[in-house]
Amino acid sequence: MAILIGPQGEIHMLQAAGWALAGLVAEHGAKTAYRVTRERGQVWLEGRSGGDTCLLRSESPAVAARHLLASHTYPPIAPAFQLPRPGLLTEGSAGATRHAMVEA
């Protein structure tokens, strides 16, 4: 699928199979052209305007998740409450255990 934008801003959509983006621009006199292609589970968007070009490519959700998880470093978790160390436990008069406050 190609989307062509002419010199006056008119928009044309047409099948782009077998065409290079530069060929579409030249053949139709477009000022700007975009081509959307689906291939191997991905979507490609090519754009051309004058001498400027761009290419955007999607990734499958599984591949995107792998990239995100592989590059993400998890910060150490700082608990809001820290349990007392066993050596700081004291025995109460009724046999109940009390916890001493521990500063982190």
Distance CA 54, CA 32 (A): 12
The torsion defined by the Cα of 29, 13, 9 and 52, in degrees rounded to 10, comes to: -60
Q: Say if 42 falls within a structural domain.
A: yes
Whether residue 99 is predicted with pLDDT greater than 50 in this model: the reply is: no
Whether residue 7 is predicted with pLDDT greater than 70 in this model: the reply is: yes
Q: Say if 43 falls within a structural domain.
A: yes
Torsion 65-70-75-79 (CA) sign: positive
Closest CA relative to residue 60, chosen from 47, 41, 75, 44: 41
| Domain count across the chain | 1
Identify the domain containing residue 5 by its residue range: 1-48
46, containing H or E segment: strand 42-49
- pLDDT tens-digit map of 32-58: 999 999 887 788 999 999 889 999 998
